[in-house]
Amino acid sequence: MTAIALGADHAGLPLKEDLKAWLIERGHEVVDCGTQSSESVDYPDYAAAVAGAVTAGKAERGILVCGTGIGMAIAANKVPGIRAAACTDAYTARLSREHNDTNVLALGARVTAREAALEILATWLGAEFAGGRHARRVEKLAALDRRKEQSDAPTR
């Protein structure tokens, strides 16, 4: 099975724990990047931890949970090599994999019921990148990452 990095802020903690149990029940290895507390934390820290686990090869995919999923997706997408999508239904989750080859799923605990989140997750995990015309577009995303990495490189 797939190694999955999982992270949440305080708003997403209960749903993260439900997703974690669901993943483990299905034989996935879970890399839990926190939080473990309901005390207020900053979502970019957990997005960076999950994105880092994915880009370092410690996990094949990542799942992030905050209030809406939007902040987590924005933060994760700042990490070169990450293609994160905030998905609110199974259709967008499937297309995010088939068309965009997403490697991080962001969910909103305050806007997505537990059962819907599990359906979204199952669909996302089961979907495969379609390639074809979409591969050209995903390569263009990778080129943007490389351009950003070059512009961020220290100059001498």
Q: Closest Cα partner for 100 from 149, 63, 142, 147?
A: 142
Within 86-132, residue ranges assigned H as helices are 90-100, 114-126
Q: Which residues belong to the active site?
A: 66, 99
Least confident of 4-8, 78-82, 145-149: 145-149
pLDDT, one tens digit per residue, over 5-61 is 999 999 999 999 999 999 999 999 999 999 999 999 999 999 999 999 999 999 999
Give me the torsion for CA of 142, 146, 148, 153, rounded to 10°. Answer: 160
pTM of the model: 0.94
Confidence (pLDDT) at 32: 98
The CATH number for 14's domain is 3.40.1400.10
Range of the domain at 14: 3-152
Q: Does position 153 have pLDDT exceeding 90, yes or no? A: no
Residue 78 DSSP one-character state = T
- CA-nearest of 106, 111, 109, 110 to 92 is 106
CA distance 143 to 35: 32
* Domain count across the chain: 1
Tell which residue, 130, 69, 65, 72, has the closest CA to residue 96. 130
Q: Which helix (H) or strand (E) holds 4?
A: strand 3-8
pLDDT on residue 154: 81
70 pLDDT more than 80: yes
Average pLDDT on 108-114 reads 98
